[in-house]
A and B are shown apart, each in its own frame.
Chain A
Amino acid sequence: MPELYEMTATDLAEMLREKKVSSVEITRSVIDRMDAVEPKINSYVNPAPEQALEMAENADQRLASGDDDPLTGIPIAVKDNMCIRGRKTTCGSRILANFVPPYDATVVSRLRDAGMVILGSANMDEFAMGSSNESSCWGPTRNPWDLERIPGGSSGGPAAAVASGAAVVSLGSDTGGSIRLPASFCGVLGMKPTYGAVSRYGLVAFASSLDQIGPFARDTSDLALLLNVICGHDPMDSTSMPREYPDFTGFLDKPLEGMTLGLPEEFFNRLDNPEVEQVISEARSVLEKLGVKFVELSLPHLDYGIAAYYIIAPSEASSNLARYDGVKYGHRADQFEDMIDMYCRTRSEGFGDEVKRRIMLGTYALSSGYYDAYYLKAAKIRNLMTMEFRDAFEKCDAIYCPTAPTPAFKIGEKVDDPIQMYLTDVFTIPVNMAGLPGFTIPGGFSQEGLPIGLQFIAPHFEEGRLIQLAAAFQRETDHHLKRPPL
C-alpha cells in the first residue's frame, strides 16, 4: 500500500467515497511529506497547514452530507500569483512581500466551491518572469530529481510540489511555457489551456494577452478532473470565453486510431540534444502502435517566436507593472524627495534583476520612435504564426514536439545570460502567441535520470483531444509512475 501523499487524486477520491480514508488523513499525510521534503525543495513560499486541515474538516463534512464534487477533500497547491483572500500573495517579489488580497481569484473560488483543500502558495519566478525559478525573492525551488538543478519556471514551485508528493495536484500559470517547462523538468503533467478557457481574474498580471492558468498532476485522469473545476466563463474577466466545456474525463478512454499528429520541421531542426531526440522518437513509436499517423509540417514563422515574444511579453509587462508605485499596496521606499522619486525608489527596491530588465526592454520597445520597429512588427509576426497554426490544423489533429531543448539545467547555469535563458522557451512560446492549448506529459528519462517531457498542441478549445492523447500514451508507458529519489 503506497502512502496517501503518493496516490493520485482519482484513487484518493474513490477511497474517500468508500469511507476508507478521510480528507483530514490525506491532508495530514501530505503535510507530513511537506515537512520532510520542503527543507530540500522549497516549493512553497507560504504553506498554510492549519488552514488546510480546517478546509479538510469541512470537506469531510461535505462528503458525509453528500454535498461533494469529484475533487472534494483533495489537497492542492496554488502558485503564488493567484489571490487567496486573507493570505499573503507575493508573486515571488519583494514589492508584494506583505500583500494580503481582499478577494479570491476566480480559480481560488472555484477550488473552494469544489471543496478542495488549499495547502498554500507555491514558489515561482518573480512576477512569473523566468524559466528556472531562480528569480523568486524567496530563493530558488530545487528540482526533486536532482537538487543541484532548477525545476524549470516560472511555475517551478507548483510542479516540484506535485513531483515530490508535497501536493496531490496544483495550479500554475503559463505565459510562454511556465507550466509546460517545469512539468517537463519535474516529470509531471502540465497543461496550458486555451486562452480564455480559465478566468484570469485575481491572477497577478504579467502579459495579459499571453497569461493563462492551468493544472499540474501526476496522471491524466487527475488533470482532467482539475480542468473540469477551473474551466468556465467568468463575467469578471472580459477575455474569458462564454462557452460550455465538456466533461474532460469523457476523453480518457477514447482510442487514438485514425488520429494524425503534425511534426513541425522548424522545431525538429533545432533539436540537438540526443537524449531528448531519443525520448521523442521512442514515444512516437508508442503512438504509432496506437494507430496514430504522423505528417511533417512547415511553419516557417516559428523561427521568430522567441524574438517576437520577448518584445510582446516585456511590453505588456512594462505597462502592467506600472501599478506598483507604492501608493495603494505593496512596498514603499522609506526615503524619497518627491512623488516621482518615491515611485522610482520604491520600484528599484521592490523589483529584482529580471523584472527590471524586462521593464527596461518593454519600455524601450514601446517608446516613441521604436514602437513600429519592435512592438508593431512583433504583433504582426504573431498574426502570421497564428495563421500558420490554423493552416497546420487543416492537415493534422494535433502537433507533437518536445517541450524543452534539454533536460533540467544546473542552478546558476544561465542566470547571467538572459538570451540563453530565453531560448529555453523555444518550443513553448508559439503556443501562447496563438492562444492554443498545450500539454506536457512525461515521455522518458535522460541517462542521468532526469525527466524529459513530450508536448502536444491542439486547436483552440480542443483540450479534450490532448487528454485523449495523454491517457492513451500513459496506458502503454510507465514514465509518469516513476517518482524522484528523495
Chain B
Amino acid sequence: MKITPEQVDYVARLGRLALDDDEKRKYQGQLDDILKYMDVLAEVDTDHVEPMAGPVELYTPLREDLVKPSLPAEEALANAPARTGTTFRVPKVIE
C-alpha cells in the first residue's frame, strides 16, 4: 500500500472534503491502484527536460487601461447562498 489511512485523511483535509468511512476505504484502495499505475512514469528519463505547463507559448497580453462597466452588485450576489445587504454572508472567522 502506498497510501495509508492517515494520508487519506490528510489529503481530504487539504482538499476540504469530509469523507465518510466507506468513502475513505474506497478511495484508499482506488488511489493506491491508480498511483501504482503511475509508477510507469519513473521509467522515463526526464533529466534535462523542462516541465511544460501548457500548450501555448506563454506571453502577457496587454490591453488599453480602459474603464469598463463591471457586473452590477445585485447580479453578482444573485447566486449567493447567503447575503447581508451587498455582501456575501459567511460564518464568523475571527474569534
Count the A-B residue pairs with Cβ separation under 8 angstroms: how many?
161
Asked if A374 and B38 sit within 8 Å, CB to CB, the answer is: yes
* Known contacts A100-B79, A339-B93; is-contact A318 B51 (Cβ 8 Å): no
CB–CB B41/A348 < 8 A: no
Q: How far is the CA of A336 from the CA of B8 in the complex (A)?
A: 22
B82 adjacent to chain A (CB < 8 Å): yes
How many residues does chain B have at the interface if contact means C-beta atoms less than 8 Å apart?
50
Task: Please tell me which stretch of A10-18, A278-286, A361-369 contacts chain B, meaning at least 4 of its Cβ atoms lie within 8 angstroms of it.
Answer: A361-369
At the interface, is chain A mostly helix, strand, loop or mixed? helix
| Interface core residue of A196, A357, A360, A419 (most chain B CB under 10 Å) | A360
Would you call A195 an interface residue if the criterion is a C-beta within 8 Å of the partner chain's C-beta atoms?
yes
Q: How far is the CA of A273 from the CA of B81 in the complex (A)?
A: 50
Chain B interface mostly = loop
B90 adjacent to A339 (CB under 8 Å): yes
Are A304 and B40 in contact, with the CB atoms below 8 A?
Answer: yes
Query: How far is the CB of B86 from the nearest CB of chain A, in Å?
Result: 13
With A103-B71, A328-B88 as contacts: A348 and B14 at CB distance below 8 Å: no
| Distance, CA A393 to CA B88, complexed state (A) | 52
- In the complex, A307 Cα to B46 Cα: how many Å? 15
A238 and B30 CA atoms in complex are apart in Å by 36
Interface residues of B in 1-50 (CB under 8 A from A): 3, 7-8, 10-12, 14-19, 23, 27, 30-31, 33-35, 37-38, 40-44, 46, 49-50
> Is B81 a contact of A384 with CB atoms below 8 Å?
no
A147 at the interface (CB under 8 A from B): no
Which residue of B34, B52, B93 is within 8 Å of A310 (Cβ)?
A: B34
Stretch at the interface among A50-58, A160-168, A375-383: A375-383
Closest A residue, CB atoms, query B56: A196
Q: Is B85 an interface residue (CB 8 A)?
A: no
Q: Is the CB of A330 within 8 A of B81?
A: yes
Instruction: Determine if A384 and B49 form an interchain contact, defined as CB atoms under 8 angstroms apart.
Output: yes
Taking a contact as CB atoms under 8 Å apart, the answer to whether A307 and B38 are in contact is yes
Instruction: Please give, as numbers and ranges, the residues of chain B lying within 8 Å of A98 by CB-CB distance.
Output: 79
Complex Cα distance A160/B88, Å?
Answer: 39
- The answer to whether B16 touches A347, judged by C-beta atoms less than 8 angstroms apart, is yes
Cα-based distance from A275 to B90 in the complex (angstroms): 57
Expressed in whole angstroms, the Cα–Cα distance for A361 and B82 within the complex equals: 31
19 pairs, CB–CB < 8 Å, chain A vs chain B: A100-B79, A102-B79, A209-B53, A307-B40, A329-B80, A329-B81, A339-B90, A339-B91, A339-B92, A343-B16, A357-B30, A361-B34, A367-B11, A374-B38, A380-B51, A383-B49, A384-B46, A419-B37, A435-B55
Known: A307-B40, A360-B12. 18 other contacts (CB 8 A): A99-B79, A100-B78, A239-B54, A304-B44, A310-B37, A318-B15, A329-B79, A332-B81, A338-B92, A347-B15, A348-B18, A357-B27, A363-B11, A376-B51, A377-B42, A380-B46, A381-B41, A435-B56
- Closest A-B pairs by Cβ, 6 of them: A435-B55, A329-B79, A379-B51, A332-B81, A383-B52, A209-B54
